Chain A
């Protein structure tokens, strides 16, 4: 009896070990598949980026569509950016004022707010808002075009869809986002002046003079340069996610959603790299 009991224990142990090995094997296989998918997606995106770059230098540039996209991406985002820019400047001023007042340095407020807005707040907040509005818009539009076979229809009618749909959108985003950022910066500074005037009275000329006394070319230049990269990233990710959407309406929502998430993440990463490069150069 004893012998039987010990042998059943051994059998149970063997089964347990076998099961664990099988589970480990399954997990390893799943991880391998995930890694394969990730590498395939990276390869796919690289190829997409290369095709976009190649088509951007094509002789048959779709200029009318490019202008239409500039209007869609640039002009139609102006109301949202106006409100956000004003509020950004005003909030920054209202929050910073008590701290500076404690140190008796309220006169530094315009300069501090202007530097914060021009260097960091303006570009990053505007880019994140654009990632939400423009990135999701492009992702959803191209995604629904893909699902309803409009991209295929374009291809069979001898029009290169990447040239017509992707290049125009990426270029428009690359050019329009810096413009929107500069506009948001200007409104942010205006919002700051308005906020200062809630509790005091400062003329705009004096405010402007104090704000721009501390700003020089190297505050402005790197901040503008990085916005071109923000624009390119937002446009490219939105287009890629929409263009590669799977069949079915659910994939349109997924494409829009992942376009926003990845574009926002890329904006933050590009900002970090830009800040590091600027820091090294100064």
Chain B
């Protein structure tokens, strides 16, 4: 009986899985960045991945969208093994994933409107020009950047660029959001604004997110669950309270280092 209950719980947990990573390894020359890492992302949750610089956080999410090919292990997104997908299948899967880059990665030669139109034209091909314009206005309003439509990325501040980049990511209604250090290089107030925006996006678009950060405040504001990476593997998993109350020296020193 208990076995049956366990199976049901397991299967419901499995059906709720959005990303399933098993024994992922990745190295560059002599440096092994990820070592047999395993983690799951469940539907609708915000998973924060903490870790010091060089712990393999960014490599992890780049492996998920196959910007970097992993050496060993499996990455399943919506049950599909990313490493086995053909070019067209991978392209279709990527349409369901939004990726916010650390630098924002807005296209320099385009206005904000053109930046937002770029994925929209290619992914939501059926939209008319009017519908596209409405969608652009809607997402810019959501991130609080309505007056930047015809501005170039170079005319925006760091925080505004991050928000514009977030708008470009959510405009195609992704089901998964991957944030690569969304608050790095921003002042505390702007960082807090970005954290609020991450929560708003999760609520409004019902996304499941992996947030890579070493900003404790961002983790506090956004995390449903936290994973800490150390030496390419999961060092600890839990919620913010468990991390803050941990007596482990590594965890303590990490939390104390932050302002």
Which positions in A face B, CB cutoff 8 Å? 141, 144-145, 148-150, 152-159
The verdict on A149 contacting B94 (CB below 8 Å), with A156-B65, A158-B122, A159-B118 known, is no
Complex contacts, B67 vs chain A, CB 8 Å: 152, 155-156
Q: Is B101's CB under 8 angstroms from A153's CB?
A: yes
Complex contacts, B168 vs chain A, CB 8 Å: 157
Which positions in B face A, CB cutoff 8 Å? 62, 65, 67, 91-92, 94-95, 97, 99, 101-103, 105-109, 118-119, 122-123, 168, 172
Distance to closest chain B CB from A243 (angstroms): 14
Q: Is B108's CB under 8 angstroms from A157's CB?
A: no
Taking chain A's interface residues, is the majority helix, strand, or loop, or is none over half, making it mixed? helix
The verdict on A157 contacting B122 (CB below 8 Å), with A150-B107, A152-B67 known, is yes
Q: Is B118's CB under 8 angstroms from A150's CB?
A: no
Complex contacts, B97 vs chain A, CB 8 Å: 156
Which 6 A-B pairs give the minimum distances between C-beta atoms? A153-B105, A157-B119, A149-B105, A156-B99, A149-B101, A158-B91
Complex contacts, B92 vs chain A, CB 8 Å: 158
Q: Is B102's CB under 8 angstroms from A157's CB?
A: no
Count of A-B contacts judged by CB separation below 8 Å: 49
Question: What are 6 A-B pairs at a CB distance below 8 A?
Answer: A141-B109, A148-B103, A148-B108, A149-B101, A157-B94, A159-B119
Q: CB-nearest residue of chain B relative to A141?
A: B109
Distance to closest chain B CB from A169 (angstroms): 12
Question: What separation, in Å, do the CA atoms of A159 and B120 have in the docked complex?
Answer: 11
Question: What separation, in Å, do the CA atoms of A152 and B118 have in the docked complex?
Answer: 14
The verdict on A158 contacting B102 (CB below 8 Å), with A150-B107, A150-B108 known, is no
Q: CB-nearest residue of chain A relative to B169?
A: A157
Distance to closest chain B CB from A75 (angstroms): 16
Q: Is B107's CB under 8 angstroms from A158's CB?
A: no
The verdict on A158 contacting B123 (CB below 8 Å), with A152-B67, A153-B99 known, is yes
Extra A-B contacts (9), CB below 8 Å, given A145-B108, A157-B123: A150-B106, A150-B108, A152-B67, A153-B105, A156-B97, A157-B94, A157-B168, A158-B91, A158-B122
Q: Is A150's CB under 8 angstroms from B105's CB?
A: yes
Complex contacts, A145 vs chain B, CB 8 Å: 107-108
Q: Of A144, A154, A158, which is in contact with the most chain B CB atoms at under 10 Å from its CB?
A: A158
Question: What separation, in Å, do the CA atoms of A141 and B62 have in the docked complex?
Answer: 23
Complex contacts, A152 vs chain B, CB 8 Å: 62, 67, 99, 101, 105
Question: What separation, in Å, do the CA atoms of A156 and B118 have in the docked complex?
Answer: 12
Q: CB-nearest residue of chain B relative to A148?
A: B103
Q: Is B105's CB under 8 angstroms from A148's CB?
A: yes
Question: What separation, in Å, do the CA atoms of A186 and B99 have in the docked complex?
Answer: 51
Q: Is A158's CB under 8 angstroms from B101's CB?
A: no
Question: What separation, in Å, do the CA atoms of A152 and B58 have in the docked complex?
Answer: 13
Question: What separation, in Å, do the CA atoms of A158 and B67 have in the docked complex?
Answer: 12
Question: What separation, in Å, do the CA atoms of A148 and B95 have in the docked complex?
Answer: 21
Distance to closest chain A CB from B245 (angstroms): 37
